[in-house]
Chains A and B, each alone.
Chain A
Amino acid sequence: MKALIGMLFGLCLALPGWAGEAQPVGEDPVIEQRMNKLAEELRCLVCQNETLAGSHAELAEDLRREIREQMKLGKNDKEVIQYLTDRYGDFVLYRPPFRSYTLVLWLGPLVFLIIGGVSWYFVMRRRRALRVTEQVSREDLDKAKALLEADSR
């Protein structure tokens, strides 16, 4: 009985051996590599926070196919990007380009950092000003000491 179970178990382990190797969709490894590298700089428009390289969405597969074909036609990376932005606009770029309408996006954090830094500086200045800088006289010091000692009895 144990032997039988052992054999069945062994067979199950062997099942994945039947699986074919994942079909490489592109035949040309150079283009495939170029395409993947480019696709990491592009956005999947369906799952908008994923790159075109990582997304499993059907549109993403279609667009990867388009990129492969454009590259086979001899287009360089810049031309392929132009091909996509002509159709989908700047949003297809994963890294937002630096343009007039993305100024707030790019400069915003820096501006807030500066505002924060300046405010911090002024607050620190005011705190320093509040510290007592007057010289206290020897007399007053002794009086204060006596009062404090009187209290603690």
Chain B
Amino acid sequence: MKRWIPLIVFAVIAGFFYVGLSLNPREVPSPFIGKAAPEFTLPVVGQPDKTFSPADAKGKVWLLNIWAPWCVSCRQEHGVLMQLADMGVPIYGINWKDKDRDAEDLLANMGNPYVMTGDDLDGRVGINYGVTGTPETFLIDKQGVIRFKHIGPITPDAWKKKIEPLFKELNT
């Protein structure tokens, strides 16, 4: 029995390493899951007379995508978002800390998957949502409650496995 002890100790430590090293420290759990989406009123990119608030999307199951023109990962995600928009997924954007004012041109050139994009120049709305970087996407239900947060670009895999099932469920 005694001879198994080193092996058991090794196995336990290896187990901790296996789990621990596979975790991503960037994926900080959001305290907003299950809570109402924080209020905001932002000017709309490209339509300065209009404003955008979460109330505008009430009654829909929608994605709130926090992005920025200077964010490289957001470009990667852009193609996926265009596809989702074509499929009929309501996507609203928040243009986060766009100091160079590139958002309007970018959307005109690359295509606009957003119903509307709010202009969060000083980043305060982002802070109210617990944003630490871009892109981050919230899945919000018909009552305006945040149900899921995806950190990083939405890949086709992430959509299929994590977001789509919940999206469909909330839509029934």
Contacts and interface: CB of A to CB of B under 8 A. Distances in A.
Contact of B130 (A46, A58, A89): A89
A62 interface: yes
B48 interface: no
A62 B127 contact: yes
B123 A88 contact: no
B59 interface: no
A76 interface: no
A59 B129 CA distance: 13
Contact of A46 (B29, B32, B124, B133): B133
Interface residues of A, number: 14
Nearest to A48: B25
Nearest to B25: A48
A63 interface: yes
Interface residues of B, number: 16
Contacts of A2: none
A87 B130 contact: yes
Interface in B60-117: 97
B25 A88 contact: no
20 contacts: A45-B28, A46-B132, A58-B97, A59-B123, A59-B132, A59-B133, A62-B127, A66-B124, A85-B31, A86-B31, A87-B32, A87-B130, A88-B28, A88-B31, A88-B130, A88-B132, A89-B29, A89-B31, A89-B130, A91-B28
